[in-house]
Amino acid sequence: MSALYDSTVLRPLKTDLVFAPHQVTLYGWEGATAVVGENNGSSLTPAGFESHVTTTPLLRSQTHETGAYVFFAGLALWVYLLFVVLAPKPRCSCRERLDGKTVVITGGTDGVGKETALELAKRGARIILPCRNLQKGHKVISEIQRATGNFQLSVFYVDFTILESVEACAKQIVQAVPKIDVLINSAGIGHGIGSTRDGFPMLFGVNHLGPFHFTKQLLAPLRKAGNARVIFVSSIAHLWGEIDFDSLQEPDTFTVKSQFKAYSRSKLANVLVAKQLHRTEGKHGITTYVAHPGWTFTSLFRDFPLVIKFLAFPLFHLFLYLPKEGAQTQIHLALARDLECQSGGYFVSCRQAESCQNAEDFRLAADLWAYSEKAVASALSYDVQTCTSI
Ligand SMILES: NC(=O)c1ccc[n+]([C@@H]2O[C@H](COP(=O)([O-])OP(=O)(O)OC[C@H]3O[C@@H](n4cnc5c(N)ncnc54)[C@H](OP(=O)(O)O)[C@@H]3O)[C@@H](O)[C@H]2O)c1
């Protein structure tokens, strides 16, 4: 083995020299084979070989390309390891238990809501899961019972696209339990077209109006708990949200722009409602919190167009949180002690974070509250002043 010089690029080549009586064959490190002429038996020097070296240019460019691919694949692997695999994940380290407490979790049949229900059941809480698919709800309950040994779990039917159903569910829960210690509004959709049965844009109706009315209907048992917590699972997408009251009747359309606008608006509405509740219900001992789970690979993306699923899902598998990781922030908000002074706050990775300017707008929050009350009242044929059926 010795080092020779490639005459074209003047770079050392690691070579295997195979001596035949009058020939030296050089196997270059780039995989190119070069016949370098006759060996007259004298010492081998680079200069001696220069003029005889022949290489194939095609092979050389192919090997350069391969080298570039290997380099970028290696770089991508390192970035993935450093920023995804080794990056700190949200983790709630609270050891508190919830024995004797009642927790209502919407969206508890899937994704981060299901993981939250599992963890809080482990801590001894009585869990109520309002869900739109009772069969799935019972299956989830059995799974949680088997995993935790906690049998205080029940399901109630609710469909957040129908306000009547929201109201009926809340009424049943009020009759079933004397108090609610924690309400977690986790049900939501990431993609929705058209309008709800009550005529509101789909994402606004399911992600905001349904949970808004549900929470309002449960205020009495929440107040009874003395120090209840209401947690809204919003999203970082609220930062791009805008509430334009004139467009709140327009159905959601299929385009990416319309979907993102509608989703971020509904998630901003979650933050505004949490803040408004904090202002009005604080005196009744209710504190409110907003969680962003972090981008988590759940069924939230199931209704995305097929082409987006096809392109994005392999990446989602690699880069997004697991549901258990995405659930940590709301688990923390349900369990942690001494959070009262952070009521109304927005949390990411179990820590308080900055929400956007719109979310801090008191007036907007009050206007949205009033708008939502009227919208619900008109859908349910209520008199908004007295809250009695017309
Ligand atoms: N995943 C993320 O990356 C991410 C990021 C930021 C915020 N979030 C928020 O996190 C929350 C939970 O999302 P996820 O990721 O856990 O999604 P998911 O796995 O799709 O879970 C959504 C839950 O909501 C329920 N739900 C949907 N529409 C409903 C309706 N009309 N009536 C009653 N229940 C309904 C679903 O019921 P079924 O089981 O019957 O489908 C399911 O239990 C959402 O509010 C979402 O906006 C998620």
**The 3-state secondary structure of the chain, one letter per residue:** CEEEECCCCCCEEEECEEEECCEEEEECCCCCEEECCCCCCCCCCHHHHHCCCCCCHHHHHHHHHHHHHHHHHHHHHHHHHHHHHCCCCCCCCCCCCCCCCEEEEECCCCHHHHHHHHHHHHCCCEEEEEECCHHHHHHHHHHHHHHHCCCCEEEEECCCCCHHHHHHHHHHHHHHCCCCCEEEECCCCCCCCEECCCCCEHHHHHHHHHHHHHHHHCHHHHHHHCCCEEEEECCHHHHHCCCCHHHCCCCECCCHHHHHHHHHHHHHHHHHHHHHHHHHHHHHCCEEEEEECCCECCHHHCCCCHHHHHHHHHHHHHHCECHHHHCHHHHHHHHCCCCHHHCCEEEECCEEECCCCHHHCHHHHHHHHHHHHHHHHHHCCEECCCCEEC
| CATH number belonging to domain 102-389 | 3.40.50.720
pLDDT digits (tens, 9 = 90+) for 303-341: 788 888 888 888 888 889 999 999 999 999 999 999 999
Gyration radius of the chain's alpha carbons: 31
Task: Just list the catalytic residues.
Answer: 263
Average pLDDT on 234-247 reads 95
Name the residue with higher pLDDT: 247 or 112: 112
Q: In angstroms, what is the span from residue 171 Cα to ligand 1's centroid?
A: 22
Please name the residue whose Cα sits nearest to atom 17 of ligand 1: 300
Residue 303's DSSP bridge partners are none
Domain segments of the chain as ranges: 2-85, 102-389
pLDDT digits (tens, 9 = 90+) for 112-135: 999 999 999 999 999 999 999 999
For residue 114, give both structure tokens: 């299901």
Is the minimum distance from the CB of 116 to ligand 1 under 6 angstroms?
no
pTM for the predicted model, two decimal places: 0.82
Is the minimum distance from the CB of 188 to ligand 1 under 6 angstroms?
yes
The preferred substitution site among 189, 196, 231, 302 for testing ligand 1, maximizing ligand atoms within 8 Å of CB, is 189
pLDDT digits (tens, 9 = 90+) for 179-196: 999 999 999 999 999 999
Relative to the CA of 323, which ligand 1 atom is closest?
Answer: 16
Q: In angstroms, what is the span from residue 188 Cα to ligand 1's centroid?
A: 4
Is the minimum distance from the CB of 345 to ligand 1 under 6 angstroms?
no
Name the residue with higher pLDDT: 98 or 47: 98
What pLDDT shows up at residue 268?
Answer: 98
Is the minimum distance from the CB of 133 to ligand 1 under 6 angstroms?
yes
Residue of 212, 341, 346, 189 whose CA lies nearest to 273: 212
Relative to the CA of 132, which ligand 1 atom is closest?
Answer: 33
What pLDDT shows up at residue 5?
Answer: 41
Is the minimum distance from the CB of 198 to ligand 1 under 6 angstroms?
no
Q: pLDDT grade, residue 387 (50/70/90)? A: low
Phi, psi angles (nearest 5°) of residue 94: -70, 145
What pLDDT shows up at residue 58?
Answer: 54
Is the minimum distance from the CB of 330 to ligand 1 under 6 angstroms?
no
What pLDDT shows up at residue 284?
Answer: 96
Q: In angstroms, what is the span from residue 298 Cα to ligand 1's centroid?
A: 8
Please name the residue whose Cα sits nearest to atom 12 of ligand 1: 186
Average pLDDT on 141-161 reads 98
pLDDT digits (tens, 9 = 90+) for 335-385: 999 999 999 999 999 999 998 889 999 999 999 999 999 999 999 987 655
Is the minimum distance from the CB of 293 to ligand 1 under 6 angstroms?
yes
What pLDDT shows up at residue 37?
Answer: 40
> β-strands 102-106, 182-185: how paired?
parallel
Alpha carbons 296 and 53: distance in angstroms, whole number:
57
pLDDT digits (tens, 9 = 90+) for 180-237: 999 999 999 999 999 999 999 999 999 999 999 999 999 999 999 999 999 999 999 9
What pLDDT shows up at residue 62?
Answer: 76
The preferred substitution site among 110, 234, 259 for testing ligand 1, maximizing ligand atoms within 8 Å of CB, is 110
